Amino acid sequence: MKSVVCHAAKDLRLEESPLPEPGPRQLRVRIAYGGICGSDLHYYQHGGFGTVRIRQALALGHEVSGVVDALGAEVTHLRPGQRIAISPSRPCGHCRFCQSGQHNHCLNMRFFGSAMPFPHIQGAFSEQVVIEAHQAHPIDPTLSLSLAALAEPLSVGLHAISRAGSVLGQQVLVTGCGPIGSLLIGALRRAGAGRIVAADIADLPLQCARQMGADETINLKSQADRIESYKLEKGQFDAVFEASGTEAALRLGLDLIRPRGILVSIGMGGDVSLPMTQLAAKEVDLRGTFRFHPEFATAVRFLNEGLIDGRPVITAVLPLNRALEAFDLAGDKSRSLKVQIAFSEETV
Amino acid sequence: MKSVVCHAAKDLRLEESPLPEPGPRQLRVRIAYGGICGSDLHYYQHGGFGTVRIRQALALGHEVSGVVDALGAEVTHLRPGQRIAISPSRPCGHCRFCQSGQHNHCLNMRFFGSAMPFPHIQGAFSEQVVIEAHQAHPIDPTLSLSLAALAEPLSVGLHAISRAGSVLGQQVLVTGCGPIGSLLIGALRRAGAGRIVAADIADLPLQCARQMGADETINLKSQADRIESYKLEKGQFDAVFEASGTEAALRLGLDLIRPRGILVSIGMGGDVSLPMTQLAAKEVDLRGTFRFHPEFATAVRFLNEGLIDGRPVITAVLPLNRALEAFDLAGDKSRSLKVQIAFSEETV
Amino acid sequence: MKSVVCHAAKDLRLEESPLPEPGPRQLRVRIAYGGICGSDLHYYQHGGFGTVRIRQALALGHEVSGVVDALGAEVTHLRPGQRIAISPSRPCGHCRFCQSGQHNHCLNMRFFGSAMPFPHIQGAFSEQVVIEAHQAHPIDPTLSLSLAALAEPLSVGLHAISRAGSVLGQQVLVTGCGPIGSLLIGALRRAGAGRIVAADIADLPLQCARQMGADETINLKSQADRIESYKLEKGQFDAVFEASGTEAALRLGLDLIRPRGILVSIGMGGDVSLPMTQLAAKEVDLRGTFRFHPEFATAVRFLNEGLIDGRPVITAVLPLNRALEAFDLAGDKSRSLKVQIAFSEETV
Amino acid sequence: MKSVVCHAAKDLRLEESPLPEPGPRQLRVRIAYGGICGSDLHYYQHGGFGTVRIRQALALGHEVSGVVDALGAEVTHLRPGQRIAISPSRPCGHCRFCQSGQHNHCLNMRFFGSAMPFPHIQGAFSEQVVIEAHQAHPIDPTLSLSLAALAEPLSVGLHAISRAGSVLGQQVLVTGCGPIGSLLIGALRRAGAGRIVAADIADLPLQCARQMGADETINLKSQADRIESYKLEKGQFDAVFEASGTEAALRLGLDLIRPRGILVSIGMGGDVSLPMTQLAAKEVDLRGTFRFHPEFATAVRFLNEGLIDGRPVITAVLPLNRALEAFDLAGDKSRSLKVQIAFSEETV
């Protein structure tokens, strides 16, 4: 069985490992598709991000779909051959955060493909993976396994919206229209946003943003003048979602948001200089967002029922034996949004 | 009639001006006490703050109390001789923010003693001032006019709490225990905070914080080790109120706050470098707060009924002819919290 | 100029009246379509509802669209010939509710076609009507004037959702699928509800509910058993919207809602017997909803952009000279959902 | 060891039973004081309430304090002789409500002295009781064990407030000023309510309400006219807490609450006729409240620190051998608010 394993920055290998056996409440899954996420890229390109560094071999990957292969003795609600989206999230259920419904802050979280704890939590970019039964979300016959692997990044977008509260009828700005920003736009349209403006510094993501439902797209390099009118009367956006992770976008958001508006920061950008006087005087509400929990089931529902269509986001699918090429492609923002690895021919 | 007028940085004068006459819905007030606020000090010491600069002579002052002197023809609910706290806030009532109940963001605000608009809005550090009838809040016979002049900074604290939502039973940190921070602590105690920790870099404000109701005080210079246990399990404070306006305090707040906690920024600190990855990963809610609106009436009520006692905050009261000395004293944080000017002997 | 005027229960007349002239900030509109609402029917059938009774001749109607005919001197942002949806809401802007953004509770509201105040506020079922400029909402060339007249009842649905807060991903029940309930379902789908169950006692509204986006429909007379599973584990619905105005539906909602769920009551049903022990023990949040304010602009936007399609709701359109027949048809729930009157041939 | 056991309506006995032994995570407590609650009275007087009936012998009682007697092997943070308030709440920690932080809705709750599940959950009116370690809350040396036994009903009041959200500065009405209503008033004062009006039909509870912090008390029988001014302009109270469990009080609350106000129903009153048209037109938010969870720790804190003083609520303390007399006394509202049983002479 092959896995995509990162040993250090720029040291990514396709490695053999033994087939794992599921425990009584677990199942084994043949992975179909795995999307390459920004954090996967960070491990590959830089060996980590911030204080999180790879200290032992780490199988990457947490955006995956697959087909049930073998069931543990106590798992009765699933069957072999079933097509599923897989949540990468395994909270403990016992800590004070789990007991208050904030499972994404679990003190003992085992999230696929993460170097935050040590020993690291191995990821799901393998031909077969053992998961807990609660991680499996059956998908509709009409939904492809490739699209099902978007459930995870879509969950991130849905959770970001839930952090903002209701956006029904609101005028919303999204800065940064990569895979997360673009899926977020699809989710905002579904969540009843009144008008969605998408901003980026490149045309490929803006094109995707429009396909996902943005009413207006603005290239901040070539069309910066079009942003001016949104500064009027202390700012025109009810909510801003910052998905680029840049200081410039965050500061722009503070300029354009109306007093008491909500600015959700999705992109992690390390240390950033912020104009606190402006934030205070406009009473901006700057909210962080991190992963998701109940939103994964919602994401699968929306994908299953065609209520959100993620197709514009996937720009390339490469077979497992070209996994390293897939990582390089995913790192090239001028050509790629979401790049997926196909782990098996038959499941495609 | 004398006023305290700022012409430029370090150029503060006691000037004569003619007695103003009230319009039909206005009244004239003999000012009793005026508290010197941080923004008054900024005008005096630096000629402004950020992009807000003094461009014409500006009477300072917005924390005032007084005695009704003359009534406009249409004002029937007040009488000469009545003792009042005076709200410095005059929103227009018509703009989109006033029509949505967010009067502190009024597009046409005329707030006493502000160089934000031009022509500037003159302040209330005068022997007599004309105000709108709605600015007058009668005070209880048991409340001194000196304490009544704390209604304004107390309102700032109450509004900061309302920005956070309910604090009932919560563990709360206040960083920066000057007059605003200390009055905020009194308001937090009254609002049902469960446990209040106060932090500052000097002992005088911490002593005041304890008198205002803090359960624990920490001198961040000499007792920094005592803060460590609050970092456990991703942070222990449900809410943090940052009133020092420093980057260090804001970063400390991000370390100590629990995931999904609310960090209210009261102190304006210009550009500040923030660890956005931490803010996102902990899903912190960083909220600005600015002035107040309905809270002024609440502040007067709490002072009237003795439900909040502001006496520990007032460290000096100087007569009008020593107004410049009062400003210098207010600027010396090692000796002063709130310094007030007494505008009249008889009203004391 | 003809108007549809109600003099008393069962006394509805087509009457002539002089052409009105717009004031400086007003405009005159040739009415295109008018939808018959439940309150119009109550005036016609019973002479009022509850304590609200017709005490003078009252032109009915508040769900209207039209074409601008003449402009007041100060109205510059509209032009003759423009096609508009018309908000029936005219709050005063000055009372304590308007000043807190709760214009639907205005103490001096002049809402079209209402016998609540005396003298009554005349309605808009006339060939021409004078409105305030702020009541006019231009519509898209692709939107028919008939569909534009749904903006008002759709606003009621959108406001009901805003009363509930975010419904993103939630499991929602709607009881009562007449025009309001069905448009609400369209709005819930747009607002990101995860799964929508519609319940009624008749098949025609349920058929409409499905077309508007319900995932499941339940006829409470013939399919009552299908509701049982939703009672499990203290109740399965995150939110319930009660649009039938019946005690039975409200009590059903309390059975099916999960603890801490939100039950929005749209249908007004007079005195109703409620199991308060159940409401308390499940900590249900029973919220009233009344009309709308900012939601009218949102409704027009969603109709303009095709984000909500109201066509299934309109079951009949009759010309003005058959207005009385239209009222009788609208009162027959077995044959009708929304019945509209076409006031002009040319505007159709 | 003696316990107060109810066998059926009017059949309450002092019975002997063997001393229980604590498990590894449990402790045995010598009970000091037990307050008689409305539900205890219902079991005694009527054999239950609504559909909840006594079907086997049930030791009553859930408002208790005591002294640690023996510790299970794994309990290390407590010591024999320690004085504690005892939470009666034992949620499972695993069901969907526990996992979302709503432990008071636990599907497998074992709450002291409850006939809801079968077998019934035995109560704490015994000389010695075994509890889970997490139920023990140490109290301050300055707090009497009698006052400590108020932590439970005070928690009910605190949770009712948390259901309403922030009450800071609000004008609040409390109807029904028995032990729950009066402790709620103390909690509202602590939570920063601006003005508290208390209403009841008897003078004894109103006298207590005033001692607990009400600004105004109204006897609804003898001073009904004083309520009229609160009906002006659609209602004057921001929040209403209904603790009498009567239809009349609930309807009064709907009359007096302002539009968009929050009416929390604490008193359980069986089926009640409500004016739904009024609830809808005023957009009232009628919220149930049930028991508590995190509020117990907060209640103990407020009692420990003297931030809420419950002494006015306790009107009688009787020794265990007069337990039946204590129940009769507690049932006489003209003479009693909270009646407590002293289980041991030494702990008094």
- Put simply, the answer to whether A288 touches B288 (Cβ < 8 Å) is no
- CB contact, 8 Å: B99 with chain C? yes
Cβ atoms of C193 and C172 within 8 Å: the answer is yes
Q: What is the pLDDT of residue D348?
A: 45
Nearest residue of chain A to residue B283 (CA atoms): A288
- Whether B191 and chain D come into contact, CB under 8 Å, resolves to yes
Tell me how crowded residue D1 is: count the other CB atoms within 10 A of its CB. 14
Identify all chain B residues contacting A272, using CB atoms and an 8 Å cutoff. Answer: 273-274, 276
Task: Provide the sign of the torsion angle of the four alpha carbons A47, A49, A54, A57, taken in this order.
Answer: negative
Task: Say whether residue A101 is in contact with chain D using an 8 A CB cutoff.
Answer: yes
Between these two residues, A65 and D348, which has the higher pLDDT value? A65
Kindly indicate the confidence band of residue B348, based on its pLDDT and cuts at 50, 70 and 90. very low
- The answer to whether B22 and B71 are in contact (CB under 8 A) is yes
Residues of C in contact with D260 (CB under 8 A): 102, 105
Q: What is the per-residue pLDDT for A167?
A: 98
Give the pLDDT confidence of B296-321 residue by residue, as tens digits.
999 999 999 999 999 999 999 999 99
Point out which residues pair with A218 in neighbouring strands: A199
- Direct distance between the N- and C-terminal alpha carbons of chain A, in angstroms, rounded to an integer: 18
Task: Establish if A93 touches chain D: CB-CB under 8 angstroms.
Answer: yes
Per-residue model confidence as pLDDT tens digits over D247-267: 999 999 999 999 999 999 998
- List CB contacts of A346: < 8 A, sequence separation 6 or more: none
| Cβ neighbours of B305 in D, within 8 Å | 215
CB atoms within 10 A of CB B114: 19
Query: What is the mean pLDDT of the segment spanning C195-214?
Result: 98
What pLDDT was estimated at residue C129?
Answer: 98
Q: What is the ipTM of this complex?
A: 0.97
pLDDT at residue C253 tops 60: yes
Tokens encoding D25: 């995570």
CB C181 within 8 A of CB C174: yes
Residue B342 parent element (H or E): strand B338-342
Q: Which amino acid is at D182?
A: S
Mean pLDDT of C231-237: 98
Distance of alpha carbon D86 from alpha carbon D109, whole angstroms: 16
Residues 6+ away with beta carbon under 8 Å from A310: A147, A150, A154, A183, A186, A303
Q: What is the pLDDT of residue A308?
A: 98
A103 neighbourhood in chain D, CB within 8 Å: 99
pLDDT at B50: 81
DSSP class of A96: T
Tokens linked to B308: 């909040």
pLDDT reported for residue C161: 98
Give the residue on C whose Cα is nearest the Cα of B293: C100
Whether B27 has a pLDDT exceeding 60, the answer reads: yes
Least-confidence region, from B48-52, C20-24, C301-305, D279-283: B48-52
Least CA distance to B91: which residue of chain C?
C99
Which residues 157-176 on chain A approach chain B with CB closer than 8 angstroms? Answer: 163
Could you tell me the pLDDT band of residue A273, with boundaries at 50, 70 and 90? very high
| pLDDT higher than 90, residue D196 | yes
Give the DSSP H/E element, type plus range, for residue D34.
strand D26-35
C237-242 and C171-175 strand pairing: parallel
As a whole number of angstroms, the distance between CA D275 and CA D280 comes to 9
- pLDDT score of D158 more than 90: yes
C231 touching chain D per CB within 8 A: no
CA B251 to chain centre: 23
Dihedral in degrees, nearest 10, Cα atoms A59, A64, A65, A67 = 10
Measured between beta carbons, the chain B residues lying within 8 angstroms of A273 are: 271-274
Reported confidence tier of residue C346, pLDDT bands at 50, 70, 90: low
Q: Is A187 helix (H, G, I), strand (E, B) or coil?
A: helix
pLDDT at A165 over 50: yes
Chain D touched by C281 (CB under 8 Å): yes
Check CB contact under 8 Å for D166 and B166: yes
pLDDT score of C348 more than 80: no
Of C41-50, C195-204, C228-237, D28-37, which range is least confident? C41-50
Taking only the tens place, the pLDDT of each residue in A212-262 is 999 999 999 999 999 999 999 999 999 999 999 999 999 999 999 999 999
3-state SS, residue A288? strand
Find where tokens 């008393």 sit: C8
The answer to pTM > 0.95 is: yes
Spatial contact of B110 and B121, defined as CB atoms under 8 Å apart:
yes
Can you give D133-180 as a three-state secondary structure string?
Answer: HHHEEECCCCCCHHHHCCHHHHHHHHHHHHHHCCCECCEEEEECCCHH
Alpha-carbon gap, residue C308 to C300, rounded angstroms: 10
Least confident of A152-156, B158-162, C225-229, D51-55: D51-55
Phi-psi region of D329 (alpha: psi -120 to 50; beta: other; left: phi over 0): alpha
Residue in chain D nearest C52 by alpha carbon: D277
Nearest by CB: D271 against C250, C267, C274:
C274
Residues A100-143: pLDDT tens digits?
999 999 999 999 999 999 999 999 999 999 999 999 999 999 99
Share of chain A above pLDDT 90, in %: 96
Closest-CA distance, B317 to chain A, in angstroms, reads 30
Per the CB < 8 Å rule, is B165 touching D165? yes
Q: What pairing do the DSSP bridges indicate for beta strands B63-71 and B83-86?
A: antiparallel
Residues A280-287 have a mean pLDDT of 97
D94 vs A contacts (CB less than 8 Å) = 93
Is B94 within 8 Å of C93 when comparing Cβ atoms? Answer: yes
For D58-74, what is the mean pLDDT? 97
Q: Does D37 touch chain A (CB under 8 A)?
A: no
CB-based burial, D5-27: b 16+ in 10 Å, e otherwise: bbebeeebeeeeeeeeebeeebb
The mean predicted confidence, pLDDT, of chain B is 96
